């Protein structure tokens, strides 16, 4: 039996990396997935790739989660389908390196607007559409408990998501809605490589991050997707308010 048969799921930031891997897993498990992205070309490619797994299994909506009008338009599309939402994966986010002495207001504001504000209003605006027993999964990071020099603003946003997970789980329990989060370590995605200024810097960054993982390697997006699928599906029916670290042991040693 497919774990998400006939379910409807939303995955924000679903055009590459972890988000696209999650969308693939959901489609494989029988769900119809609504994916968002900021670039239409990438969104079209993602919908086509998901459709190749199962025709008609995906809907793409161009949206920036930091733009409330975009979120309203997104949820109008979801509402028009008439099936509500069984799973919401608030995955869209990002960051960039900045040492404490170099942090600007613009850096702080843009990172918090997307990672914290975008997650907050993605979930808030989904509330009227959540079906009984729905699962909400936030994509956090293991930097919410690890020191992260020159990445402190990003780390702070992920700590905020951990707090959201607990508070929203308590608030929505009466509706039968579960809220959990997944905390990846370093994962081999375009977004991670993009933190470096050039190809040589990217190789050095990835090698350095892999060396700091007890398992000795970067994670794969599919490995995070498996954890998200668990939190989205019936196997985690007695879990809420929890955070699962999928980081090769980095946060545990």
Are residue 171 and residue 199 in the same domain, yes or no? no
pLDDT value, residue 194: 77
Same domain, yes or no, for 118 and 197? no
Task: Give the CATH number, domain containing residue 158.
Answer: 3.40.50.720
DSSP characters over 72-108: HHHHHHHHHHTS-EEEEEE---------GGG--HHHH
Residue 104: what pLDDT?
A: 98
* Catalytic (active site) residue 108: no
Pairwise CA distance, residues 241 & 34, whole Å: 24
Residues 113 and 208 in one domain: no
- Give a yes or no: residue 125 inside a domain: yes
Catalytic pick among 108, 154, 238, 245: 154
Let me know if residue 253 belongs to a domain. no
Kindly state whether residue 251 falls inside one of the protein's structural domains.
no
- Pair (165, 152) in one structural domain: yes
- Domain co-membership, 17 together with 125: yes
Model confidence, pTM:
0.95
Q: What is the pLDDT along the chain (253 residues), one digit of tens a residue?
A: 699 999 999 999 999 999 999 999 999 999 999 999 999 999 999 999 999 999 999 999 999 999 999 999 999 999 999 999 999 999 999 999 999 999 999 999 999 999 999 999 999 999 999 999 999 999 999 999 998 899 999 999 999 999 999 999 999 999 999 999 999 999 988 777 777 778 788 888 888 888 889 999 999 999 999 999 999 999 999 999 999 999 999 998 8
- Whether 114 and 171 map to the same domain: the answer is yes
Given a contact cutoff of 8 angstroms between Cβ atoms, the answer to whether 63 and 14 are in contact is no
Number of domains in the chain: 2
Got the DSSP string for 11-77?
ETT-SSHHHHHHHHHHHHTT-EEEEEES-HHHHHHHHHHHHHHSTT-EEEEE--TT-HHHHHHHHHH
Same domain, yes or no, for 202 and 150?
no
151 and 214 assigned to the same domain: no
> According to the model, what pLDDT value does residue 182 have?
98
Whether 18 is covered by a domain: the verdict is: yes
Contact criterion met (CB below 8 Å) for 6 and 29 = no
b/e per residue 182-199 (b: at least 16 CB within 10 A): bbbbbbebeebeebeeee
Q: Rounded to the nearest 10 degrees, how much is the dihedral formed by the CA atoms of 190, 195, 196, 198? A: 50
Q: Looking at residue 219, what DSSP letter applies?
A: B
For residue 250, tell me if it sits in a domain: no
Residue 93: per-residue pLDDT: 95
Segments forming the whole domain that contains residue 214: 190-218
Predicted local distance difference test score (pLDDT) of residue 1: 64
| 30 and 125 assigned to the same domain | yes
């Amino acid at each position: 039996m497919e774990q998400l048969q006939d379910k409807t799921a939303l995955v924000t930031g679903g055009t590459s990396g972890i988000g696209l891997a999650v969308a693939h897993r959901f489609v494989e498990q029988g769900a119809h997935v609504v994916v968002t992205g900021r670039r239409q070309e990438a969104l079209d490619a993602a919908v086509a790739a998901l459709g190749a797994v199962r025709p008609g299994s995906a809907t793409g909506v161009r949206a920036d989660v930091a733009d409330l009008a975009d979120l309203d338009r997104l949820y109008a599309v979801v509402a028009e389908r008439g099936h509500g939402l069984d799973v919401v994966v608030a995955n869209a986010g990002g960051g960039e390196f900045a040492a404490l002495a170099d942090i600007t207001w613009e850096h702080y504001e843009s990172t918090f607007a997307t990672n914290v504000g975008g997650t907050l209003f993605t979930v808030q605006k989904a509330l009227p559409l959540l079906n009984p027993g729905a699962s909400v999964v936030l994509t956090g990071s293991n930097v919410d408990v690890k020191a992260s020099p020159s990445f402190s603003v990003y780390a702070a946003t992920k700590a905020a998501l951990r707090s959201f997970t607990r508070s929203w789980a308590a608030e929505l329990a009466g509706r039968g809605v579960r809220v959990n989060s997944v905390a990846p370590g370093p994962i081999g995605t375009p977004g991670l490589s993009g933190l470096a200024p050039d190809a040589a810097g990217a190789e050095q960054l990835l090698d350095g991050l892999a060396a700091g993982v007890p398992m000795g390697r970067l994670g794969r997006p599919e490995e995070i997707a498996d954890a998200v699928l668990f939190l989205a599906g019936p196997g985690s029916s007695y879990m809420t308010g929890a955070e699962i670290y999928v980081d090769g042991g980095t946060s545990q040693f």
